[in-house]
Amino acid sequence: MDEAIKKHNIVERKIKFDIVRKNTLRKQLTRDISKVVRWAESLNTVKNRRKRKRYVKNIERYVPGITKTKKTVLELIDDLNTRMKDELKYSENEIADLQETYKKEYEEMVNARKMFIKAKNGSLNEQEIEEIAGKSVEEMVMQKGETPDSGEKEMVIPKEELLVKARKRLKMESKDAEKVNNELESEEKDKILFQNEIKRMALEKKILS
């Protein structure tokens, strides 16, 4: 799953990069068109031949660049529109998977916190001791060269050692839950970003076409 998320994040970063590129070119296009319009309007009012000649040269110099930039922006809009719609389909499934994963990770974190509190209070039962230690009580007793009877089970692992193990487990489960939650929040934000950008691009295309 981590590898799939990593590849997915690379795709999202590339889309975001291209959105920035498209918006930068669109702003440049808007500025250049405004200049050309301003020069064209001045041609109707300016009498000075030298100024009129300069305005005409400026317009002739800017028009090819405007045409090229406009073509690039429209191509980027079409490309981004397709990629973002595909990404939104994927995101719907990924968000659902992340929500399910987070639910499980959160439950494991809550359980780890309960175990830590019980280890702190010295109230762990045999099954919980085995879960924290990662091995059976009988196995731990035999490793000590003793007979696994009920009287020895309580002293198999010192309370301090169990507390360290329980704290380590809580820290790990908390970190895993936070990682999934951060990924979920990021995915939900990207979904909103892409939805809004698709709407804006539809308007941009209408204006530029």
Total number of domains in the chain: 1
Sign of CA dihedral 172, 177, 178, 184: positive
Place of tokens 């500025």: 31
| Of 188, 174, 9, the residue nearest 98 (C-alpha) | 188
Q: Which amino acid would we find at residue 205? A: K
Domain of 189 in residue numbering reads as 2-208
pTM of the complete model: 0.67
* pLDDT number for residue 83: 92
Q: Along the 209 residues of the chain, how does pLDDT read in single tens digits?
A: 567 677 778 888 999 999 999 999 999 999 999 999 999 999 888 888 899 999 999 999 999 999 999 999 999 999 999 999 988 887 777 778 878 888 888 888 988 888 888 888 877 777 777 777 766 655 555 455 555 454 444 445 667 777 888 888 888 889 888 888 888 888 888 888 999 999 999 999 998 88
Q: Which amino acid would we find at residue 178? A: E
Beta-carbon contacts of residue 128 (< 8 Å; ≥ 6 apart): 115, 118
Q: DSSP letters along 191-202, please?
A: HHHHHHHHHHHH
Sign of CA dihedral 39, 40, 45, 46: positive
Helices 49-121/2-43 angle, 10° precision:
160
Question: From CA 183, how far away is CA 114, in angstroms rounded?
Answer: 25
Q: Which amino acid would we find at residue 40? A: A
Instruction: For residue 20, count other CB atoms closer than 10 A to its CB.
Output: 10
* pLDDT number for residue 142: 47
Question: From CA 19, how far away is CA 24, in angstroms rounded?
Answer: 9
Where helices occur in 44-157 by DSSP H, the ranges are 49-121, 126-133, 137-143, 150-153
